[in-house]
Structure 1
Amino acid sequence: MTTLVSWPARLPLPTYDGYALEPESAVTRTDMESGPARQRRRFTQTPTRIPVRWRFRDVDFATFEAWFRLKLDDGADWFAISLLGGIGIAAHEARFVGQGNAPYKAVPSRGGTWIVTAILEARDKPMLDEGALDIVLDSDPSALFGTIDGFHLLIHSSLPGPLSW
């Protein structure tokens, strides 16, 4: 098993500008001669395309270019990166899928910065599991999270520390 390359910690994460989640459909549709069309699930896992945008300083862009070429094998490999999703910022496995013939687009900007745009493909996007979904559907989420916050405060601030014998 190979070790997954990680997004460089010294580089910023993508900005909100242009950020979107575009999941591919797992359903296939068959139009019928008469009556409603039939749909069925075709896949259990589908990738999500995520248009991203970074604002890099010159040194950051130089780092990105070298990392892309040397660590990602010119963008062919999957890598680990923290991306925004429904559960907040979480670790994803992603790869560059490109825009036309280019894996990314880099445009110089004023002040020694670069605007880099790309489309990433993420697999197994982190989300609530079935148990967590059932809890959220059966509860008031704001009350639930308030209870969790109160419990955290009780344990870490109000109760005495570990007993020493």
Structure 2
Amino acid sequence: MANIPKMIPACAVDGYKISPQNATVRTEMETGPARQRRLSASMPTQLSVKWIMQRLEFKVFEAWFKHTIFDGTAWFVMEVDNGMGMTETDCRFVGPYTVELAAKGIYNVSATLEVRDMSVMTSEELEEYLD
């Protein structure tokens, strides 16, 4: 699996958003409370990211996106920030990225990524925090 190029800067804080996908299915009942159950134990998480790149970084990013991860269809590894801190995580693009020219030679690149398995603490680690 490919890694995001080392020269690509870390994601900007502005616009960084973690959106866990719904892992449950809910059935409304004619009477009484709705029934709800877990659909899957492993649902992907969507991540909205933005990179601020200089021209050379953007040039490398475009080529990597096209040639290495096949226009965003292949999984790749990059560091993702969540409650566990910065962890290397399997990601792939949900759709094409967008680019906004911020200044001459400065590009704001935005995308939505799918994270295969967002790292969280284990149930054993969680027990330390519960009464």
Q: Distance in 2 between matches of 1:21 and 1:79?
A: 18
The amino acid that maps onto 2:42 is Q
**Counterpart contact for 1:29–1:37, Cα < 8 Å:** yes
C-alpha separation in 1, matches of 2:80 and 2:114: 11
- Which structure has the highest strand share of the two? 2
Of 27, 31, 34, the match for 1:34: 31
Within 1, Cα distance between the matches of 2:30 and 2:65?
Answer: 50
The alignment status of 1:69 with 2:66, answered yes or no, reads yes
The 5 A counterparts of 1:95-106 are 95-98=92-95, 103-106=96-99
Aligned to 2:82: 85
- TM-score w.r.t. length of structure 1: 0.77
The answer as to 2:32 corresponding to 1:24 is no
Instruction: Give the aligned CA root-mean-square deviation in angstroms.
Output: 0.9
Paired position in structure 1 for 2:106? 113
Aligned to 2:120: 127
The alignment of Structure 1 onto Structure 2 pairs a total of residues equal to 131
Give deviations 1:115-137, integer Å, cap 9, x for gaps.
00000000111110111111233
Given candidates 87, 91, 98, the residue that maps to 1:94 is: 91
The whole-number CA distance in structure 1 between the counterparts of 2:130 and 2:3 is 34
If asked which structure has higher relative contact order (CA below 8 Å, sep 6+), I would say 2
Cα separation, 1, equivalents of 2:99 and 2:55: 11
Equivalent pairs: percent with the same residue? Answer: 38
Offset, 1:13: 1.4
Unaligned runs of 5+ in 2: none
Pairwise CA distance, 1:12: 0.6
Structure 1 outlier segments of 4+, above 3 Å? none
Which one has a larger percent helix, Structure 1 or Structure 2? Answer: 1
